[in-house]
A and B are shown apart, each in its own frame.
Chain A
């Protein structure tokens, strides 16, 4: 019930390409879905987040698409750059409660120059 499933486990993209990472959740009480970016040796950092009242949110080259009926959301990185190479985690929580985040298993993205 608390699980968030993330795919793919790893992703290799050419510079300038589109990176797509998918997540699915089970708990319908989740209503806040952040994506975190983690570089080696660092803690995760918030990248972008969405609430289920919108189907898409865009910030620069990063876009979250959200499908409430399917209980799925995805991260799209447009014009991927080598500096985007990192591990990306999707997460979910119940807003208004400062509850813990439930994380996906992570996707290791490599953008080739």
Chain B
């Protein structure tokens, strides 16, 4: 597809379980971002990957959250020992290569709606 895709679209899990959320960025985009959107709230930055550089993990709320990006493309956000407060929509975005004129434009996927019971 032409856009950012995320899977699953919805995830219901029990407190204490681990979850993995997947993001497929737009082909050729070197920057990839994860954000969290809680109900009625704005988007909270979690983590950012740029090419082969070390990721910016400054937004991760706790050490239960981690993310990786394999082969400079697909990314997986992992939440260990989920808590009820982790319930939110997790959004992935990508942007074009460093130095391009449109690099600031972030294209968002539809999100994964996570519900922790």
Does B20 have its Cβ within 8 Å of any Cβ on chain A?
A: no
Residues on B with beta carbons closer than 8 Å to the beta carbon of A41: 110
Residues on A with beta carbons closer than 8 Å to the beta carbon of B103: 95-96, 98
Q: Pick the contact of A46 from B33, B48, B106 — CB < 8 Å?
A: B106
Binding stretch for chain A, among B11-19, B37-45, B62-70, B72-80: B37-45
Closest to B3 in A: A43
Q: Pick the contact of B31 from A49, A96, A98, A104 — CB < 8 Å?
A: A98
Residues on B with beta carbons closer than 8 Å to the beta carbon of A46: 105-107
Does A44 have its Cβ within 8 Å of any Cβ on chain B?
A: yes
Assuming A42-B110, A43-B111, A89-B42, is B59 touching A100 (CB within 8 A)? yes
Q: Which of B64-117 contact A (CB under 8 A)?
A: 91, 93, 95, 98, 103-111
List the count of A-B residue pairs having beta carbons below 8 Å apart: 59
User: How many residues of B sit at the interface, in one of the four size bands?
Assistant: 20 to 34
Q: Which of A5-52 contact B (CB under 8 A)?
A: 6, 32, 34, 36, 41-46, 49
Once the chains bind, are A6 and B42 in contact (CB under 8 Å)?
yes
Does A66 have its Cβ within 8 Å of any Cβ on chain B?
A: no
Once the chains bind, are B91 and A43 in contact (CB under 8 Å)?
yes
Once the chains bind, are A101 and B50 in contact (CB under 8 Å)?
no
Once the chains bind, are B104 and A45 in contact (CB under 8 Å)?
no
> In whole angstroms, how far apart are the Cα atoms of A93 and B110 in the complex?
22
Once the chains bind, are A103 and B42 in contact (CB under 8 Å)?
yes
Q: Pick the contact of A34 from B33, B56, B105, B111 — CB < 8 Å?
A: B105
Once the chains bind, are B104 and A100 in contact (CB under 8 Å)?
no
Residues of B within 8 A of A (CB): 4, 30-31, 33, 35, 40-45, 48, 50, 56, 59, 91, 93, 95, 98, 103-111
7 extra A-B contacts, CB within 8 A, seeds A44-B43, A96-B103, A106-B41? A34-B105, A43-B4, A46-B105, A95-B104, A98-B31, A98-B95, A100-B48
Residues of A within 8 A of B (CB): 6, 32, 34, 36, 41-46, 49, 89, 93, 95-96, 98-106
